[in-house]
Structure formats: C-alpha cells, structure tokens
Structure 1
Amino acid sequence: MAGNISKHFYQAVANKTCADFHHPGKTCLQAVQESAVAGLFGSLKFYLPLCILPLLFKIKQWNEKKTWKEFLINYCRCVFSGFFITTTGFWVFCMSYKIFKGFYLPLSVCLPSSLGAVFCGIMPKKFVHIDGIGLFNMYIEFIIKQSKQKSIVWLRNSLVGATCLYSFFNSVMIYYLYKIRSNRFWFVNIGNELKAIKRIENDSGENIMNCGHETSCDEYLKKEFKNISLFAFGVSLFKLIFPRLSSIIKNPGNFMKNIFKKFDYGLLAFLIVSNGLFKFTFCRLNQYGKFSRDVNCLIAAFASSIGYVFYPRYIIFTMGITSIIEVLYKYIEHTYVTQNKELPEIMKFINRLPCSELLYMFSIGMTFQLRVIYPHLTNKFVHKMMSIGSGGRSDEVTKNYFKMMVGW
C-alpha cells in the first residue's frame, strides 16, 4: 500500500503549484504570514504540557523560585523554536517549488521541515534529544508497519514474538545502565538500586543489608511498590487529561462520566509490573542468590519484561531499539574512560557532532513526509503534534495532497 501511494506521487502533483499543495487561493506571502501566526499559537499550546511534565517530578521544589524560572525559560525557548521551525518549514516549502520548478521527493516535503528544524537549537538540549529520538522511533514504527518481509510481518502480528524481542532489549538496556551506574530514563527505574550499590561500595561499618538498602527487604519493597504505583497512576492520569484539557474545561461533567472508560489501564499495569517485578526479583536474588549483582540485575531485568504484554505498543518496542544503541555507545565510552584509555578517533569525531540536532532535523523531516503521504501508517502522535504545532496547517497540506491523489 505504501509503495503504491509513493509511486503515484509524481502523477498526482503534475502541473500543480505550491498554492495547490499548501495555500489554495492565497499568495505565498499570505500563507507564510498565516503560518507564522498559527505556528506561534500552536507552539504555545503544544509545548505547555511537555514543559509542565518535568514539574510533576519536582513537587517538593515548587516553593523555590529557581524551579519556576527554569520552567518559564524552557517554555519560552521551546515556543520560539517551534515558531521558527513551523514558519521556516512552510516558507522553504514554497521556495523549493519555485527553485526546482516542481515537486520532488524528498526535496519538496521532507527537506523544508528538516531545514526549518535547524532552529531546534533554541530549545533546551534535553528536549531536542528526547524529541529527536521519539520522532525517530516513530519513523522506525512506519518501517515496521509497511514492511512485507515475512519475519517482520510475523513479529508485527505475534505478541509472543514481540515480547521475546522486547525482553532482549529491556534486559540489555537495564544491565548496561547498571554497569555504567547511569540513571538515564528507561521504563524501569534503577535509581534506588544504584544508591544501594554506593552504600555497599562505601560501607563504613554500619549495619547495611545485603541488598544495599537500609531497611528490611519487605519494608523496602512495600515502599517501592507504593512509589511505583503513585508514579504510574500520575503518568496515566497525565496522559488522560492533557490531550483533552480544552474539552474538560468546556464540559467537565462529560469527562467525569467517561474517566474510567478512557483511563489507560494498560500503561498503568505496564509501569507497575515492569518496575515491581524488577525490584522484587533483584532484591531477592541479592539476598538469597549465589550469582553476582550484575547477573542478578540481568535476570531481574529479563523477568520485568513480562510487563510488555500489558502495553504492547510500537513506541515502547522501538524505543528499545534506539536506546540499546545509545547505552552501548555510552558503555564503550565508559570503559575507555575508566581504563584511562584514549577514545578511538571515530568516537571523538562522533562526540564533536551535534548528533541530537541532526537526528531531530532528519526525524522531523521524515515524519512530516510520512504525515502527508502515508497518514494511515503514521503514529497518531505525529498527527496530533504537527496539527497542534502548525495550527492545523499540516492537516490542510495532507488534505490537499489527498485531493490531488483522487483527482479533485
């Protein structure tokens, strides 16, 4: 299906102009001006929940001015970045048509968005990094969905197969995070396990449990399970409320009636089971097992992978692929540093590159092209992100392309 659509692209856009594709009945200047206004308001709306989310992890710091100052600065940087990305992208869209005298893939759809994304440098580095990887994962999702290879098709339709492969990703990810003592984001949080290791390594003769925590295993696990449950509930509630914020304000009664139907119980179960199983297994193995802590971590990580069956989503699966590449690179780098060895020239070169920015530019360009040409195979988040961020302009481009495809 995907191949058929792209094959007819040139036939559909023959003798068409940027006005037909982007701004019917308006000049390029008028379209860019409207895109600028829509991009500003769209960015204000889109980045607000993304900047609020980190605040949920800093509730104890809400009484500090520094917390709110950081939030405001990050929000403004994201808004201005989104404004320039949207405005520049649509401007380059029209310019590319005039320069090349027609539409060509990927120059006409992917390239304008990628060039507009140069302004991602205005955003905080962590936002660029997270967004870039997230969008790239959605590109991988598209590849999986449209692939006709038998192994990929089988994996796409087999929960057992996908869970087994995710188990590999999850186990490797947690194991190497533990090895390099990194509390980098992952679906299973190992922060307290790393603190426990520090207590053991720096034991000053105090009565510390075999597992590294300062209380009994039962007390520790009860406390952890409570924290995990509260965190999982908070994330699930955030996912439920923020996409529907405007409708909740308009009609709160209707939202309350359907809150239990729309609540994502799968995400809740995934986070609780994954984190709960890891912490329980890791603690018991350290207490009663005969293996090293590294091996215990690997076994516990594998056991925690069963949580995937409660929330078998592409975004979880694809994040495992990209995260492994990143954490293995960090492990290799960590190994050289701890052994006081000089990094290979290729790694020095990679470290000098603005990898996060380049990945963001590539990913946003590709996802916009997929949004326009392959909407049925594109992650729903991409639809929402580009619709909100562009003030509905990306929806119009997609509709205009569809009209050209069917000959309207």
Structure 2
Amino acid sequence: MTAISKYWNELTTGVDCAALTHPGKSCNEHIRFQLGATLWGNVQFVIPIWMLRFFLLAYTRRAVSWEIARQTLFEFSAMIANGWIVSNSWSAGFCAIYHTFGRIINNYSISLPGLPGTLAMFWMPAYVQMSHSRAIFNVFLECWIKSREHPVMEYARESRLVGTVAFMLISALIGHYSLRTKAVEFWFFAPLKKDLNPTGDKRQANKVCYHREDCRSYILDGMKTCFTFGMILELARKLIASIPKIRKHPSTLFHALSRMRFKFVAFLTLYNGLFRLVNCLLAHHRRKVSPYDSTLAGLISGISYTLSPNFNVFNLAVTAMIQNVWNYVSEKYARLELIQRMNRLSFSSITWIILMNYNMYSRAYYPYAMSKYALKFTDLCSSSQACTASECLAKLFLSAS
C-alpha cells in the first residue's frame, strides 16, 4: 500500500471524489446521508464506553448516584458530538478539496479533511480530552510499530522475550516516576506515596508498610480490583465489536462473550498482585520503606506480561510512562517559564488533532497495520465511509498495477 503514495498523481488522474468516497451518490446526497448515519454510528460506539465509565465511577466511589449519572451522560453526549463532527468534517472536507483544486491531492486529501472537526476537542470535557488522546496515541503507536519494515523492528515485535523485557523496563519507570509526582495518572498499580497508618496508634507502631490493612488483605484487595476492572474492560470491548451485528444476529453477543480474553484479565490481576507483594516483601526485609521499592516492584511485576502480550497494554504503558515522566519534570522545574508556557497548552487536544488526522492517513495506506479496535471505531463512527474510501483506493491501485 505504501506504493500508492509514490504513484499517487498517476493513479488519481481523472478520478473524482465520488469514485473514492461515495460511489453512486452526488456530494450533497452523500453528506446528507452521512449526517444521519454517523450520529447513530457514534452512539453505538460510545454506549459501551459510557457503561464502562459509569460502572468504574460507581465502583470507585462505592455508590450509584445522580451525580455520576449526570457526569457520565454529559461526557457521553460530548463523545458523540466530537465523533460526529470529525466524521462529517472529513466527508465534507474531502469533497471540498476536490472541487476547490479540481483533483485529489496526495496525502493532504486523505489526512486534512477532518482537521477542522478535530479542533472541537479543545471544547470537550477534561475526561474526553484525556481518554481520546490516550486512545488515539495507542492506535498511532501500534500502527507505527506494525508498519515498520526494518529487520530489527520486525524481530522485536514478534519476540515475546523482547516485548516482556521492554514492558518490564517501562513498568519500572512508571513505578519510579509515579511515586515522585503529586499527580495521579491511571495505571494498573499505584505506589503509596505516604504512610497511611495513624500516628500514635499503638497497634500500628511496629507496622513497616504504608498501607493500613494487613499485607494479605492489601494484596488481595488490589488483585480483586484489577480482576473486576479487567472483566468490565473485556465486556466493553466485546460489546463494541458486537453491537453493530446484534440486531441481525443476536447470537453474535454470546459468541463474542465466549471468546473473552481471560488471559488478559489474569495478567492484570497478577500484575497488580505482584507489584503489591514485592513492595511488602522489600519493606519487611529491610524493616522500612524505600523510595526505590516501587521501581523494583514495577520491574518484577512486569514479568506477568508474558501471560497476555498485546499492543493495547504495551502502548498504554508507554503512554502512562510518558505522562508520569512529564508530570515529574513539570513539577520539579515548575518555576521555569518554558515549563509554565507548556503547561498552559492542552497537550491532550493537540495530540488528538495531530494523530486523528494521521489515523485517517493510516486507514487508507496501512489498514493491515491498524488494530482491530482502531478499524472498528473508525469505520463505525464514520458509518463505514473510512472502509469504503480504503477499499476504493486499494481497487484503484490494483487495477493500475
């Protein structure tokens, strides 16, 4: 597919926007159809995410309240609006570029039509900005890794040993920097930053670890939380994949649920359990807590990655590492004017804007390197327009070769 870029002008000579994005329809008909179809497509995609967000907030706060429902419904509406705006910006933008310049311009016609729509992220709620930017970064990273053709990269992405060692090192960095920052970033373990035991309590006088409960309860509680989170996450993933087909084939849901990744759930459970266990063992061994315990615990617990090596977890780890390192740097050098200026920028929105447009480019040129999740959300939210454009582009290339 990369050859398309090299021979773009020859391939697209005499080709109009209809041939690539809306065969059999005029531009006006296509855009009118997309305005309605993409709304339902985005609703289908966001419903499982909203359910996941709602249950996780309720689980974290140990309550189901109107406040949680109102917050998640607001975020739900914002996500639908954001996806709808991006999809239709791309639809209208592709046609507008063709009619303005009289041809389909290499790369720019694929990547930039959605740019005006992606700018809406600046006005989205903080949770939407954060979650969407992380998701699109993970999509970008997976596509970039899979599409590299260098022999070393090819070997690294196929080797379980290389992947596990890399994950262990990244996990160690997360443990190291997350302990040294005030900010709390989402990850599957959280180092205790201070002693939670009440001072003056005689029963806690000889307690070494920072957690309040006994070590066994502390470890099992973390494993139970990660097990619950993993099961909910897997359920949401299967719902996202199944919802478009459930109306026609109700059995699709049961088939999907039977194929849940229980190894992934086992990985999360063991990962958190090992992290807490190693922290406790190290503290008891030297009779005090060291600031480097979380670093070593992060390294050792990373071994559990061998249970379920996959791009989603690896890329999410890279994202968490980058965020924690940045938090550490921005807090340590907070007085520097450069850091203050950078902190005023909405990095989440900027990341989304750049990489969402790259996602459109990847859908056309590197569909084989994109994750199933990325293909699913891109096609569902665009009402299959992204899939149609990719297929038409491939047919154009094959017919000319």
Q: TM-score normalised to the size of structure 2?
A: 0.90
Alpha carbons of structure 1 residues 25 and 352: separation in structure 2 relative to 1, 3 Å: same
CA distance in 1, matches of 2:14, 2:29: 22
Alpha carbons of structure 1 residues 125 and 222: separation in structure 2 relative to 1, 3 Å: closer
Is contact 2:11-2:397 (8 Å) kept? yes
Is 1:346–2:338 an aligned residue pair?
A: yes
CA distance in 2, matches of 1:255, 1:76: 25
- Per-residue CA deviation, residues 274-304 of structure 1 (Å, 9 max, x unaligned), is 1111011111111223675221111111111
Is contact 2:147-2:369 (8 Å) kept? yes
Is 1:327–2:319 an aligned residue pair?
A: no
Is contact 1:270-1:307 (8 Å) kept? yes
Is contact 2:245-2:252 (8 Å) kept? no
Secondary structure of the residue aligned to 2:292 is helix
Q: Which residue of 1 aligns with 2:190?
A: 190
CA distance in 2, matches of 1:316, 1:257: 24
CA distance in 2, matches of 1:334, 1:284: 30
Deviation at 1:143, TM superposition (A): 2.0
- Per-residue CA deviation, residues 349-393 of structure 1 (Å, 9 max, x unaligned), is 212222211111111111111112221122211211111111122
CA distance in 1, matches of 2:240, 2:53: 14
Alpha carbons of structure 1 residues 347 and 404: separation in structure 2 relative to 1, 3 Å: same
Alpha carbons of structure 1 residues 57 and 328: separation in structure 2 relative to 1, 3 Å: same
Q: Which residue of 2 aligns with 1:380?
A: 372
Deviation at 1:75, TM superposition (A): 1.5
Alpha carbons of structure 1 residues 138 and 35: separation in structure 2 relative to 1, 3 Å: same
- The residue type equivalent to 2:25 in the other structure is K
1:8-407 correspondence to structure 2 within 5 Å = 8-59=7-58, 63-186=64-187, 188-190=188-190, 193-194=192-193, 197-200=194-197, 203-208=199-204, 209-245=207-243, 247=245, 255-256=253-254, 259-260=257-258, 262-289=259-286, 292-337=289-334, 342=335, 344-407=336-399
- The residue type equivalent to 1:14 in the other structure is T
Is contact 1:39-1:390 (8 Å) kept? yes
Deviation at 1:163, TM superposition (A): 1.1
Return 5+ residue gaps in structure 1 as ranges. none
Deviation at 1:305, TM superposition (A): 0.3
The farther-off stretch of 137-146 and 267-276 is 137-146
Identity rate, percent: 20
Alpha carbons of structure 1 residues 222 and 269: separation in structure 2 relative to 1, 3 Å: closer
CA distance in 1, matches of 2:76, 2:352: 18
Is contact 1:5-1:374 (8 Å) kept? no
Is contact 1:80-1:122 (8 Å) kept? no
CA distance in 1, matches of 2:251, 2:38: 32
Kindly report the root-mean-square deviation, in angstroms, between the aligned alpha carbons of the 2 structures.
Answer: 2.4
- The residue type equivalent to 1:357 in the other structure is S
CA distance in 1, matches of 2:72, 2:99: 41
Alpha carbons of structure 1 residues 248 and 392: separation in structure 2 relative to 1, 3 Å: closer
Alpha carbons of structure 1 residues 407 and 257: separation in structure 2 relative to 1, 3 Å: closer
Alpha carbons of structure 1 residues 224 and 357: separation in structure 2 relative to 1, 3 Å: closer
Deviation at 1:218, TM superposition (A): 2.4
CA distance in 2, matches of 1:118, 1:257: 39
Alpha carbons of structure 1 residues 206 and 151: separation in structure 2 relative to 1, 3 Å: farther
CA distance in 2, matches of 1:217, 1:348: 41
Is contact 1:81-1:122 (8 Å) kept? no
Number of positions where the alignment pairs a residue of Structure 1 with one of Structure 2: 396
Is contact 1:115-1:361 (8 Å) kept? no
Deviation at 1:63, TM superposition (A): 3.9
- Per-residue CA deviation, residues 42-65 of structure 1 (Å, 9 max, x unaligned), is 121111222221111133665422
- Per-residue CA deviation, residues 111-170 of structure 1 (Å, 9 max, x unaligned), is 112222112234322222221222122222222222232331221121111111111111
Secondary structure of the residue aligned to 1:347 is helix
- The residue type equivalent to 1:97 in the other structure is Y
CA distance in 2, matches of 1:113, 1:267: 34
Secondary structure of the residue aligned to 1:199 is coil
CA distance in 1, matches of 2:63, 2:293: 38
Q: TM-score normalised to the size of structure 1?
A: 0.89
CA distance in 2, matches of 1:181, 1:240: 35
Alpha carbons of structure 1 residues 182 and 357: separation in structure 2 relative to 1, 3 Å: closer
Deviation at 1:308, TM superposition (A): 1.2
- Per-residue CA deviation, residues 21-58 of structure 1 (Å, 9 max, x unaligned), is 11223222221111111121112111122222111113
